A and B are shown apart, each in its own frame.
Chain A
Amino acid sequence: MKEEFETLYEQWYSRLFQLAYRILLNEELAQEATQRAFINIYRRQEQLSQVKNFRQWLYRIVLNCTMDILREQKRRRNHHPIQNVSEKQLAHQPDGMLKQMQRKELQKLFQGIFQQIPTEQRMVVVLKIYHNVTFEEIGKMLQISSNTAKSRFYRGIALIRQILEEKNLIEEVKTHDL
């Protein structure tokens, strides 16, 4: 049982951490959420054999932990605002330049963008884009219908597009390659 848990921990830690990080937008908090999730998983080891959709089960635990942390942060009112990349830095930043940006700067940029997306939309966008989860599964993980998941995704993506446009990171082009 102990070895099984250790293997699971090694295999899933990073993936679950990335999920928590993209929702919480803070490394320390993401670490806290992932640790809590694994404590939870450890306590529920006996359920493991009965779990039908393992990824869904794990993600749901992590999502619950991230939501707990977000609630705690809200209660304490000490949520540290993420330092955005300055507007100067972003102004007229062509797409190609993004690739050259340092990893840290990229993290700050995306933190800044996602900070502006409401949490419920952020969760769906992150699950869909970075974890390739189906809307049906997202619905089960967040206890919402798949249609609600789709609608949150639509609103989330539309908002991201708008932010990117405002930051001049995307621009209108006249041709397309359909």
Chain B
Amino acid sequence: MTCDEVQKKLPFFAVGLIGELNEEEVELIRQHMKTCAVCQNEYNLYKQSMEILRQWPDVDVKPPKVLIPSKPVSSISWKKIWKTSEKVLDMVLRIAAVLFLIAFGTGKIHFSATPQPSGDSSLAWQKEIMRNRQLLLQLIENQKQFQQGWQTWILQQNTKQKLMFEQVHQLQIVMQQQQQQEFQTLLQLLENIHAENRYTTLQTIQWVQTALEEKQR
């Protein structure tokens, strides 16, 4: 064995990893070192290094107390969340539809917040109501379609959330106002929400409801 060959094996040999070398190699290294002062020196330097490395003490550490949740995080059931959201959506749509149809069907659409327009503007107003009514009915009709879209959406929440959250907040206020028969704001809001966004907005209602329920738990 040459010095180069021996010195390549020395770190393993010197740190007590003889198991990493075969018996023949170990014997050759031993024989070589008996006659080679350079390799003896190398061996000693590695051996000393190892002795020093073994003096690195462990850090005194005690495991900090952990709060283990009653259920693993991975067990959050999207199915469960969806079921709850589905109920909320159903309720919201039913209330909206019933209130709207009653108000519109009986012709008793009267909004305390804004005086009813007259003349030409009254016609425009009627058109607006019709347009809004269609939108609302369409929403109800498309509920199934929406539900499918929601399931995909919940897995792909996007950056629009913040904006949608604001819309939902407004909607929530409107929902409360509905109970007081103030329907105008709802209609205005529905008008404001672009047709393209109508599903997303309702999806957000569910998301918020779910988030709130989760938070309450």
Contact = CB atoms under 8 A, between A and B. Distances in A.
Contacts, number: 101
A7 B63 CA distance: 11
Contacts of A38: 66
Nearest to A111: B56
For chain B, give the interface size range. 35 or more
Interface in A70-122: 95, 98-99, 103, 106-107, 110
B28 interface: no
Interface-central residue, A129, A161, A174, by most chain B CB under 10 Å: A161
Nearest to A15: B58
Interface string B35-62: 0010011011111111111111111011
Contacts of A172: 41, 44-45
A170 B72 contact: no
Interface residues of A, number: 47
B68 interface: yes
Contacts of B20: 135, 150
B61 A98 contact: no
Contacts of B49: 157, 160-161, 164, 170
B38 to A, nearest CB: 10
Given A9-B66, A43-B73, A17 B52 contact: no
B194 interface: no
B15 A157 contact: yes
B68 A129 contact: no
A178 B30 contact: yes
Nearest to B51: A95
B52 A98 contact: yes
9 contacts: A13-B61, A14-B61, A27-B61, A35-B64, A157-B15, A157-B49, A170-B52, A176-B43, A176-B47
Which 7 pairs, one residue from A and one from B, show the smallest C-beta to C-beta distance?
Answer: A13-B63, A170-B48, A157-B11, A110-B56, A161-B49, A173-B44, A176-B40
Given A9-B66, A98-B52, 7 more contacts: A13-B63, A14-B58, A22-B56, A27-B59, A164-B49, A164-B52, A176-B33
Interface of A: 2, 5-6, 9-10, 13-14, 17-18, 21-22, 27, 30-31, 35, 38, 42-43, 45, 95, 98-99, 103, 106-107, 110, 128-130, 135, 150, 153-154, 157-158, 160-161, 164-165, 169-174, 176, 178
